[in-house]
Amino acid sequence: MEGSMNTLIHETLLLLKEAKHQHADKLIYSCSLSPQGMVLIDLICQHNLAIRIVTLDTGRLPKATYDVMDAICERYGKVIDICFPNAEEVEVMVKEDGINGFYRSVENRKRCCAIRKIHPLQKVLKDQEAWITGRRKDESKSRSGIQAIEDDPVYGLKKYNPMRNWTEKDVWAYIREHELPYNALHDEFYVSIGCDCCTRAISVGEDPRSGRWWWENKDTLVECGLHVSSLKGRENKSIDDD
């Protein structure tokens, strides 16, 4: 177990260093503050990799997520840039669709995810060459084929996936061993955590991402739009955070 953990850490650091070497300051880690995000932040900070870390505050996150941001700041210093949606866009949407309009239609939900997540991410990724994600193969069927380095046609960047071979068990073993901060909702059967209003706890055996947008038809519940594989339907595909 210890050997395989060391191998995972070694592989992850190699890919992070490769990304930094190739793209220098045109590289960003977009962190969703997931458990694997805690591991990546720890590795980046402990090894002084000088990779910019960004997270999106949609304005609708659970208190526990803000507590994690604070805990990271306490432990590592101000290492995360927090990005926000455009206030004007949010105001117009809320006026037209209502404060919880995303429950009323898939179209409304996609509009909300676009304004609160995709547009801020587009702004963050503008002028970059590459970005790092915390996605793992074992998170869902749609993520099982993740490669180490991919072309991201949506943003026209290289996409690095250093956590792809970690399992959920590996991630939690690292978190426990290093006593890392993590989102307290994970202790309440929340697996994939996004906005407070669009995330719920799941039951044993359910797909880890089934706690997101649970009121919609399952066919639309693939990704949040931050990680889509085609330019087609860029704004309309079912919308990670990592």
The catalytic site residues sit at: 224
* Dihedral angle over CA of 117, 222, 196, 139, nearest 10: -110
Q: Which is nearer to ligand SF4, 134 or 194 (CB)?
A: 194
Evaluate whether 191 touches 202 at the Cβ level (below 8 Å): yes
> How many Å apart are CA 163 and CA 135, to the nearest integer?
6
Length of the chain in residues, anyone?
Answer: 242
Q: Strand 157-160 to strand 149-152: parallel, antiparallel, or no bridges (unpaired)?
A: antiparallel
Q: How far is the CB of 219 from ligand SF4 (least distance, A)?
A: 17
CB 240 within 8 A of CB 146: no
Q: How far apart are the first and last CA of the chain?
A: 26
Gap between the Cα atoms of 148 and 137, Å rounded: 11
The least distance separating ligand SF4 from the CB of residue 151, rounded to whole angstroms, comes to 26
Cα–Cα distance, 32 to 22 (Å, whole number): 23
Name the minimum Å distance from CB 49 to ligand SF4: 30
How far is the C-alpha of 24 from the C-alpha of 91, rounded, in Å? 37
- Choice between 116 and 159, CB closer to ligand SF4: 116
Positions touching ligand SF4 (CB under 6 A) are 58, 60, 102, 109, 112-113, 116-117, 194-195, 197-198
* DSSP string for 149-175: EEEETTTTEEEE-TTTT--HHHHHHHH
Nearer to ligand SF4, 117 or 227 (CB): 117
Provide, rounded to whole angstroms, the least separation between the CB of residue 198 and ligand SF4.
3
Question: How near is the Cβ of 105 to ligand SF4 at its closest, in Å?
Answer: 11
Nearest to ligand SF4 of 120, 162 (CB atom): 120
DSSP states of 134-153: ---GGG-GGGTT--SEEEET
Kindly tell me which of 7 and 105 has the beta carbon lying closer to ligand SF4: 105
Q: Which of 15, 230, 52 is nearest to 7 (CA)?
A: 15
Q: What is the CB neighbour count within 10 angstroms for residue 126?
A: 8
